[in-house]
Amino acid sequence: MIAMIVAVDKNGLIGNKNRLPWHCPEDLKHFYRTIKNHELLMGKRTFDSIRLKDNVVHVVTHQTIKEQDNIRICTDLSAFLKQWQTSEKTLFVCGGASIYQQAFPFCSEAYVSVIDGEYQGDCYLPPMDFSLFQQKQKIPMNGFVLYHFKDRR
């Protein structure tokens, strides 16, 4: 199964200079709890901005990355996603914008944190039609609202 996990402000902003534009500890806790014990997929810039030692991380890149036991290089994203669609394990798509856009058609679940407020930045989530999913939960949290979408219609 492929799921995406993303945090946005109310305008769809997801980043500023390869960093989160906000400080929201509760959302970070949610992120780490949700991805725990799962494999992750992200682009090279996202990988460079967050190092996760406890997860297997598939990095979409044609660049060389220092070898580590938990790092896998992905050079053919479409083939990789097609293969994962039939997996019993969960793969979390963690960004950036281009990876979210390419992976969205393969996702069967999405966790979207809408952070309170408007922020300045340079990277936005591409338009995505979450109405293709059933909204399972809408949970007001400290500093954000968590939406959980599942089961494509």
Tokens of 80: 């990789």
Closest CA to 113 of 57, 36, 29: 29
Number of H helices, E strands in the chain: 4, 10
In the prediction, which pLDDT does 153 show?
A: 65
- For the cut 90, the answer to whether the pLDDT of residue 66 exceeds it is no
Q: Find the mean pLDDT for residues 122-133.
A: 96
Tokens of 92: 């979390």
Confidence of residue 52 (pLDDT cuts 50, 70, 90): confident
For residue 86, give every residue at least 6 positions away whose Cβ sits within 8 Å of its Cβ, in sequence order, or none: none
DSSP state of 117: S
User: Which is it for strands 144-152 and 133-141: parallel, antiparallel or unpaired?
Assistant: antiparallel
Helix boundaries (H) for the chain: 25-35, 44-49, 77-84, 97-103
Q: Per residue in 12-48, pLDDT tens? A: 999 999 999 999 999 999 999 999 999 999 999 999 9
Domains by residue range for the chain, with CATH: 2-152 (3.40.430.10)
